[in-house]
Structure 1
């Protein structure tokens, strides 16, 4: 029996969102006194931000396939996606402002509250206030670009993806070979005092990260056209999982290998998002809901955690910062205990934010935009 190809609710991918958000949570637990990457082969646990970018391209393509025909469709899409992320962003900013001392210039506040802070790719702007929100600033750029990339003809999309990736890689090569041509700021010990450095530019700047989003869009096109039996889907999922685990174990070896092949800037950033084709394969495999591993991961509690994962992602660093700065829990020792406390508080807050902010805001904007018209299904990722 062939697997279903275009279900609008992909519980396995929803559940996987939680694992990606949890990896970022572990990455940010250093202020609590423990560096989890030291116990996980020095893996950069923030790598799953790239997973979110790929997943976003995939699920938006799934939910909007054959739905962006008119100018009104495209404008409604951008407005809807903005209000998918902005109300929660604003709420978390208010929580941050009320609990953590913050100062900054008007420009930083303006960029932050309009979700443009990663578009000026300096640490001082991208990491302003709730630092994790830099990624949804990048997502907003993706949303604006999506209606114009999502061409009817797949060959045009493939050509665009190839040219864009070639352009990004070529620019990395030029910066690697002729850094004197560019006036990037030097990095200082306090990154928040740095200007636009070479690293911050290639990490935050949305046009650079667009390759991951387009990769997710193309992954959907493959998924749409390739049917797998239940057994084949299970094999594909097992193989994809093994590839991810193999990379986790050997990431530092892989990066060291590429230093002798790729331009320096490309290799410097491989640790953050160079593995995104691996995430494309992983998402493609687990999108087939009837595969054994997809069914296993679609447990109702994991799906629930996936549903609140955007709120979890947005609030967890605020929780960790409060424990570290305001309660100074590091003075008491027992770092694992405080990690558990941070996780529990973050999950509880996520549940409240998801039900009290995320869902009502999205339902409101959909009613305003579509009224009695058919409402496009909500995509799985912010």
Structure 2
């Protein structure tokens, strides 16, 4: 049976990607002396790391929702994997190449770029930092795991009775809470509640040619330590897997009529309250644990509104277009910032107005580059190869819905 399009979910993806951009522009555009000023400290107090992390949590939950929504029982599993790889890797490679050129990455040090190119770098703490390259690509490592597990988990998911969905949802939320409490209690890392994700500053009041994570000195280091609890709670793919399946269960609730709320105010209020609470909890809980439930509620409500025929801002044509390019935007924003820094920011001094101007320039250039990647790389490849016949077993013939491929537009984001 063909399922309805969910344009509001496509449009909402832009806000998540934009939240990531705002954080990155604040800490990854090395605008001096602005970043050493009291003005920066004040802004960063209200725009901490968990803003971008909230965008990533939204992407992970949304990914589970739309993958389940678009998947059909009996579909070819090899075809599913092929489409996921085709959606993720080409855009990732384009952004990685731009970053390598812009940052003059030393290709002789394979640990710097090979794990990133293969999207396995977050499985090892050292690779997470040294092989990080294009910073937002870390989330794709988790998405690869999500996609690998999804078809294999379908028999288990299908066994959950409709009237047990809320119980299963609650168990997953409890698993997420247990994971983060365990990391906090048992693994070394910061215990304070302060927002610690500030830029690493260099001496002087003149803007450097490289932000530290894109500098030759960064990639020349033999080892770049990372807090074990931070790595495990934020970037380690297995830790984020339950968030994906929260989205899967939310999709089942909507599809089977167990989520009927169509008012956005309650879930948005819950999300605002949960985000406010991130200021008073340790870092292990700032990044996702508090936000998963309200994010799932927002996603489910947006979908329910689409099914009810309620039009809103997120389902408008401009927002759907921004949502369509949001994956490319998410991936190309940091390389664009590196280019802008090398060509314009480095060697100069700017105050807040200067940072705001270059942030706006980076935004415009990132949107333009994302649109170009989407129409010149992503869409041609998907149209040409996504439905290429792949041999399937007699138990899994390939069947595809004529509905617009919502899942194909949710390649994972994503900080």
Q: TM-score, normalised by structure 2?
A: 0.75
The answer to whether residue 125 in structure 2 is matched with residue 96 in structure 1 is no
1:318 aligned residue: 335
- In the TM superposition, residue 370 of structure 1 has moved relative to its aligned partner by 5.6
Q: Is the 8 A contact 1:118 1:134 kept in 2?
A: yes
- In the TM superposition, residue 373 of structure 1 has moved relative to its aligned partner by 6.3
Larger displacement relative to structure 2 (51-60 or 122-131): 122-131
Q: Distance in 2 between matches of 1:320 and 1:29?
A: 8
- In the TM superposition, residue 79 of structure 1 has moved relative to its aligned partner by 2.0
Match of 2:238 among 207, 223, 235: 207
Change in Cα spacing, 1:66 to 1:157, as seen in structure 2 (3 Å) is farther
More helix by share: 1
Match of 2:51 among 45, 51, 58: 45
Higher RCO (CA 8 Å, separation ≥ 6 residues): 2
Change in Cα spacing, 1:244 to 1:196, as seen in structure 2 (3 Å) is closer
Q: Distance in 2 between matches of 1:179 and 1:272?
A: 16
Q: Distance in 2 between matches of 1:95 and 1:63?
A: 32
Match of 2:160 among 149, 154, 164: 154
Secondary structure in 2 matching 1:327: helix
Which whole-Å deviations, capped at 9, do the CAs of 1:261-298 have from their partners, x for residues lacking one?
xxxxxx43221111111110000000021668753321
- In the TM superposition, residue 13 of structure 1 has moved relative to its aligned partner by 0.6
Q: Is the 8 A contact 1:56 1:213 kept in 2?
A: yes
1:338 aligned residue: 358
Match of 2:384 among 348, 359, 364: 364
1:239 aligned residue: 266
CA RMSD, Structure 1 to Structure 2 (Å): 3.3
Larger displacement relative to structure 2 (314-323 or 196-205): 196-205
Runs of 4+ in structure 1 off by over 3 angstroms are: 5-8, 31-43, 121-127, 155-180, 189-192, 245-248, 290-294, 369-377
Q: Distance in 2 between matches of 1:121 and 1:157?
A: 35
The answer to whether residue 407 in structure 2 is matched with residue 381 in structure 1 is no
Q: How does 1:16-27 map to 2 (within 5 A)?
A: 16-27=12-23
Change in Cα spacing, 1:176 to 1:301, as seen in structure 2 (3 Å) is closer
User: Unpaired runs of 5+ in structure 2?
Assistant: 189-199, 201-211, 219-223, 392-396
Q: Is the 8 A contact 1:123 1:200 kept in 2?
A: no
1:184 aligned residue: none
Q: Is the 8 A contact 2:121 2:127 kept in 1?
A: no
- In the TM superposition, residue 327 of structure 1 has moved relative to its aligned partner by 2.5
User: Unpaired runs of 5+ in structure 1?
Assistant: 181-188, 260-266
Secondary structure in 2 matching 1:44: helix
Secondary structure in 2 matching 1:273: coil
Larger displacement relative to structure 2 (192-201 or 83-92): 192-201
Which whole-Å deviations, capped at 9, do the CAs of 1:144-178 have from their partners, x for residues lacking one?
01112223222598888777665665454444444
1:194 aligned residue: 225
Q: Distance in 1 between matches of 2:283 and 2:350?
A: 37
Q: Distance in 1 between matches of 2:172 and 2:313?
A: 37
Match of 1:251 among 277, 283, 287: 277
Q: How does 1:267-282 map to 2 (within 5 A)?
A: 267-274=282-289, 275-282=291-298
Aligned length: 351
